[in-house]
Amino acid sequence: MSAATMSRQPGFANSSIGRALRSSWGARVTSYFAFVVAWQIVGASFFRVPTPWETLDFIWREVSGGDHGGVRPGQFWEHFSATVPRFAIGISVAFVIGVVVGLLIGSFSFVRALLSDVLLVFLALPAIIWAFLTVMWFGLGWEAPVYTVILSAAPFVAVNVAQGVRAVSPELRRMSDAFGVPRNRRIRSMLLPAITGYLFTGLRFAVIIGWNAVLLAEWFGAVDGVGWRARLWYDAARYKGFVGWAIIFIVFIFLLDGLVLSPLQRRAFRWRASPSSDLKAEVGAVDTESFTNTAIGL
């Protein structure tokens, strides 16, 4: 066989398997597989680390309401349904507060000087500190998890929204004043496109931080919820239960991001780039002529 013939034969790198492994989903599957294999090896070597099969068996029993070896039946839905409303209320309030504060900080230098240090303090405090404080203030109940989410998540939204507002070109602001562009048109055509990316970045950070916050608050200061349930198994030294709930935490945040946040972000960016938007170019890179035409309605 000649060298030319051999060079024409596809190797492993050019085969369908090689191309699949180099693709994004192939890389993800490979990383997941490697993680499970490493987990199995560690679990087989240390008795305090449950294996993947033991963890999956626990999750199935917990979700289906099965018996955990005579200890107690699975109660996934009871505790999950207690946590999700707390998380949803906290994130909703945190989002509204963060957007309002971010708009004020980004728009007015006086507010920025007044609140910048306060916001820095809120960002510096970890969720576990807020969990301790809210439990001290409100005791055991639903209030501590909700307020922990609000106090932990709102600053991340505020910071990102403020950065988005300040990213609007000063030239655009001055020209909008000069041409007398109506306020609602400024918001629709200049402000919203500028802060969309920052807004969703802040929301994603807030969701992740808020989810951790609600679990911590329930761990220390609740009588139900997924955080409380995870602590129950940890205190009972049933480590497969604790690891099983940790996997549930991760799966939930993956599903929330993939099924809710990512589609919303794609829809928002599609709106921002749609022909219905008055400013066709990226905010901050619009030249004088295009903005003039937009301002006078051409």
**CA-to-CA distance for 149 and 213, rounded, in angstroms?**
5
How far does the chain reach from its first CA to its final CA, in angstroms?
A: 70
Q: Determine the structural domain holding residue 24 and report its residue range.
A: 11-49
> Does the pLDDT of residue 287 top 60, yes or no?
no
Per-residue pLDDT at 240: 85
Residue pLDDT, tens place only, 68-117: 655 566 678 888 888 999 999 999 999 999 999 988 888 788 888 888 88
Q: Which two three-digit tokens encode residue 157?
A: 């939204």
* Tokens 């929204």, residue located: 161
Residues 80, 39 within the same domain: no
Residue pLDDT, tens place only, 22-63: 666 777 778 878 888 888 888 788 878 888 888 888 888 888
| 18 within domain boundaries | yes
Residues 117, 152 within the same domain: yes
| 182 within domain boundaries | yes
What domain count does the chain have? Answer: 2
Residues 162, 253 within the same domain: yes
> Does the pLDDT of residue 162 top 90, yes or no?
no
Confidence class for position 145, pLDDT limits 50, 70, 90: very high
Chain-centroid distance of CA 199 in Å reads: 12
Please state, as a whole number, how many other Cβ atoms lie within 10 Å of the Cβ of residue 139. Answer: 10
Residues 126, 184 within the same domain: yes
Exposure string for 187-214, b = 16+ CB within 10 A, e = fewer: eebbbbbbbbbbbbbbbbbbbebbbbbb
Task: Report the amino acid identity of residue 114.
Answer: L
Residues 17, 99 within the same domain: no
**CA-to-CA distance for 237 and 205, rounded, in angstroms?**
32
Residues 155, 276 within the same domain: yes
Residues 165, 264 within the same domain: yes
| 57 within domain boundaries | no
**What is the pTM for the complete model shown?**
0.74
Task: Report the amino acid identity of residue 143.
Answer: E
**CA-to-CA distance for 176 and 286, rounded, in angstroms?**
12
Residues 42, 189 within the same domain: no
Residues 31, 145 within the same domain: no
